[in-house]
Amino acid sequence: MGSPVCGAFGEFGGRFVAEALWSPLAEVAGAFEEALGDPSFGARVHGWAEQRLGRPTPLTHLGGLSDALGGAQIWLKREDLLSGGSFCGVVALTQALVAVRLGRGELVGETATGDFGVALGQVGLALGLKVRVFMTRDDMAAEPAAVRRMEEMGLALEPVEGPARGRRGAMAEALRYVACEPQQAFYVTSSLASPDPYPRMVAFGAEIIGNECARQLRERGVSADYVVAPVGSGGFACGLFGAFVQEGSVPGVQLVGVQSGGDASPTRGAASLVRGGVGVHMGTRSFVLQDALGQVVTPLTDAAGMAMPVVGPQHARWMRTGQVQYVELADAEAYAAVRTLARSEGILACLESGYGLAYALRLAPTLPEDAHVVVGLSGDGARDLGRLSRARGEGVSS
Amino acid sequence: MSERLTMLEERASARRPLLMVALVAGDPHLDATLDYMGILAEAGVDMVELIVPFSEPAYHGAVLQRAMARAVNEHLDWAQIEEIAAEFRRSYPSVALVVSSYLNRLMVAPMGPIFEGLQAAGVDALWIYDLPMEESAEVESYSEAAGLPLVRAVSATTSLERFREIARRAEAPIIWTGHSGGELTLTGEAFEERLRTFGEYTRRPIVASMGVTTGAEAQAVVQAADGVLVGSSVAWLLEGRGPDVKEHLRRHVVELRSRVDEVAGQG
């Protein structure tokens, strides 16, 4: 197939949806494009990101860990320090402000780890909007703290029956709800793997992360050799890589997206870019974990934020062009990396960030001391304490 | 356009409402599918929609999602769908057959041969749920080359301007998707008004999918639409899989047919 018509990233992207969703999405796309031409929109996003969410986040040099590993200098971009504990706020904020421009009264989204649901609540309530969050029952059971937090905010929580943890079942239900309430409801997503214009909107918000990071590196007089981030649907990594991937903007930096290989058996995991094929799923043309018949394979990983069978179209294009390298690492390595960071630096990262960390821990000792590796830390790890304990009990991390 | 689709247009223009019934191929197992299709044909449906199961049926309600989840375990490929279609066509030459699925199921193999194989097997049209008109240029080229038209869908969010373009491209009955597992987006007078307006801009029959489960509901739908599409109630019947499932299915479709036919000639 050729390039999509709407929101194309090379041969990827597009707006592959049922007719009922076409016009609502076209309206959102129009509003977003109009917003991009309005200087006050960007100013409002940045102002809220600073005042409400706590941006910019620090770029932390891990001197002790770098010395212990005996190689490159490791840096962390600290999204764990934001209000809500993750990068999600700025992604929700961009979309919520588009919803306001359209006069919608209700934000509707999905969440897997709970981070995005909390972010949606923070932003939506502040804007005077109702907030409805869809979440699979398995995810609700696995994330009691986030569920309690959303309940305390008074969000409308919609349990979804689903085959496994992860956003896809909840996303389908959220879209279904919006299709039935097109005048009032506005769909908001944390997933880069979604129909146009959502990949563009998610990237617009998340690119603040990469822009900050590039500026902070310049201010410190540091030239990054590697920038590493976890990739589930890829919203966070897209944001972090955005400032670096533009041709000629930051020469000489190698970008690495790390996906979950699950328990490391060949038919499991969530590494859509490593093991998937090109397909259309969740409204976008991208790399999809699928079998020979085109049936989508359920991604199996301990990290719900990584459990996506399809990746955002920007990553699919970067994979094709070679601008970003994509690898997979097993859950066990992510657990071990989270624990290593906690014990060496006192920073508790979420499990999703563990995949990027694990890659950096492998990489750093192979590089000289004057090399620099930046790792994107997408969120705080408090919600993963139970999983870390269980993993230790099962002997999967050191 | 096939002779069968032309006949459907003639029926609809004579105010004889159309009955279209959907089945999930391979639910609960492949061997039963042809039997069920035969029951539908003998009970008088005008069109059978054979749904090729997909693991991620985002635009279907819970009942059809469960049906597809069962059917996915049958690992149906396109060659098997063609076999089912060809066998059905041999037994029921006058009943229209629409095959439907999600785009990803068509992307795993060269698309041209899939279209050609379905057309040769006697399939009258192909409905791809997640392929809007704007993104369909390449698929349309396969459709045209094989002589297998694409089914076009419209909904409550479709503007008149957009409908006119969809209708211009339509070479098969147009499906009104008023129900996709959630609440109906338009009911009653608003639905009737929209269908009346749309109907002025197309010769193609507009068949409405409205979450119909009973003969009375089907009858209400065809007061406004040229036909009714019934799907989840059939999947729900088959889900029971009791000893009399075929008889229950037959009675259900006979009831739908008779209630729909009571509207014939009205309006």
pLDDT tens per residue across span A160-193: 986 555 677 788 888 888 877 878 999 999 899 9
Measured CA to CA, the distance from residue A27 to residue B93 in angstroms comes to: 44
Using 70 as the pLDDT threshold, list the residues of chain B that sit under it.
180-186, 241, 267
Q: What is the pLDDT of residue B143?
A: 98
Distance from CA of A320 to the nearest CA of B (A): 18
Q: What is the pLDDT of residue A105?
A: 96
Q: What percent of chain A has pLDDT over 90?
A: 81
By Cβ distance, the residue of A15, A22, A293 closest to B108 is A293
Per-residue pLDDT at A352 exceeds 70:
yes
Q: Within an 8 Å CB–CB cutoff, is residue A8 touching chain B?
A: no
Q: What is the pLDDT of residues A300-348, one digit of tens each?
A: 999 989 999 999 999 999 999 999 999 999 999 999 999 999 999 999 9
Measured CA to CA, the distance from residue B227 to residue B7 in angstroms comes to: 14
Question: Do the chains contact at B157 and A21, CB–CB below 8 Å?
Answer: yes
Distance from CA of B22 to the nearest CA of A (A): 18
Question: Do the chains contact at A18 and B180, CB–CB below 8 Å?
Answer: yes
Q: What is the pLDDT of residue B181?
A: 59
Per-residue pLDDT at A18 exceeds 50:
yes
Question: Do the chains contact at A19 and B154, CB–CB below 8 Å?
Answer: yes
Instruction: Give me A230's structure tokens.
Output: 């976890």
Instruction: Give me A394's structure tokens.
Output: 């099962």
CB A237 within 8 A of CB A256: no
Using an 8 Å CB-CB cutoff, list chain A residues near B156: 20, 182
Q: What is the pLDDT of residues A92-151, one digit of tens each?
A: 999 999 999 999 999 999 998 899 999 999 999 999 999 999 999 989 999 999 999 999
Tell me the three state secondary structure of residue B96: strand
Among B20, B45, B61, B29, CA closest to B245: B29
Chain B's closest residue to A5, CA to CA, is: B135
Tell me the three state secondary structure of residue B221: helix
Q: Within an 8 Å CB–CB cutoff, is residue A14 touching chain B?
A: yes
Per-residue pLDDT at A398 exceeds 50:
no
Residue of B157, B174, B177, B210 best to disrupt the A interface, most CBs of A under 10 A:
B157
Average pLDDT on A251-273 reads: 90
For residue B263, the 8-state DSSP code is T
Question: Do the chains contact at B185 and A20, CB–CB below 8 Å?
Answer: yes
Q: What is the pLDDT of residue A3?
A: 83
CB B134 within 8 A of CB A15: yes
Q: What is the pLDDT of residue A248?
A: 55
The B-side interface with A (CB below 8 A) comprises: 54-56, 58-59, 62, 69, 72, 75-77, 102-108, 129-132, 134-135, 137-139, 152-159, 162, 166, 177, 180-185
Residue of A5, A19, A290 best to disrupt the B interface, most CBs of B under 10 A:
A19
Per-residue pLDDT at A247 exceeds 70:
no
Distance from CA of B26 to the nearest CA of A (A): 14
Distance from CA of B3 to the nearest CA of A (A): 27
Q: What percent of chain A has pLDDT over 70?
A: 96
Using an 8 Å CB-CB cutoff, list chain A residues near B62: 161
Q: What is the pLDDT of residue A135?
A: 94
CB B149 within 8 A of CB B171: yes
Distance from CA of A108 to the nearest CA of B (A): 15
Q: What is the pLDDT of residue B180?
A: 61
